[in-house]
Amino acid sequence: MARPRKFTRDAVLDRAVPVFWRRGYAGTNVQELERATGVNKSGLYTEFEGKEDLFLAALQRYLDTGPALRLLDQQPLGWANIERFLAEAPFVMAAQPGCFAVNVTGEVDCLPSRAADIIRAYNRRRADAIARNVAAAQPALDARVTADMIAAFFIGTCMDVNLDADPAPHRAKVGILMSMLRSL
């Protein structure tokens, strides 16, 4: 008779995300994942086919449970949602500012091929959510182009906070961007 599991899949994924985030896919080894999750290699490989499967599941869990789409989908749609998203999303995880998906995109050549597909699909969902807010706030603007510009600002911010996690200068930049957008 098999022994009962002493962990949940979601708990393992939640503990694996910071390891992959901090070390990257290529830089993370199984021993680090064992330490972080509290699950031995055998348990990890019983639940996941290998490091690649664990990484892909962790990435998907991060994207599914992260704050970005929740912030952007609040009613009423408009500039306030975009401002909250830009100001808050990069700082939701105090111990690890930025964005896991943005960080791992930098090592795309080392990632499992499915990771790029997962990130592309998520980026489309995020851009669509931003575009809905732009269209609600300023129908005269090209919502898609404006959403792409806002997404580029977000990606740059997420890279920036890897070097300086102080939210004050970041929020000042968000304030200036939002003033510019509201004046269009």
Question: DSSP of 14-46, one letter per residue?
Answer: HHHHHHHHHHHHHH--HHHHHHHHT--HHHHHH
Percent of the chain at pLDDT > 70 equals: 97
What's the sign of the alpha-carbon dihedral 105, 107, 109, 113?
negative
pLDDT value for 79: 99
Structure tokens at 93: 């995880």
Name the helix (H) or strand (E) containing 109. none
The neighbour count for residue 147, using CB atoms within 10 Å, is 22
Q: What is the mean pLDDT of residues 42-48?
A: 93
Nearest to 20 by CA among 42, 48, 6: 48
Note whether 112 and 104 are within 8 A (CB): no
Q: Tell me: pLDDT of 1 over 60.
A: no
Where in the chain are the domains?
9-61, 67-183
Structure tokens at 1: 């008779």
pTM: 0.91
Region label for 157, one of left (φ > 0), alpha (ψ between -120 and 50) or beta (otherwise)? alpha
9-61 folds as Arc Repressor Mutant, subunit A (1.10.10)
pLDDT value for 93: 78
Note whether 30 and 51 are within 8 A (CB): yes
pLDDT tens for residues 57-85? 999 999 999 899 999 999 999 999 999 99
d(CA 51, CA 37): 13
pLDDT value for 99: 92
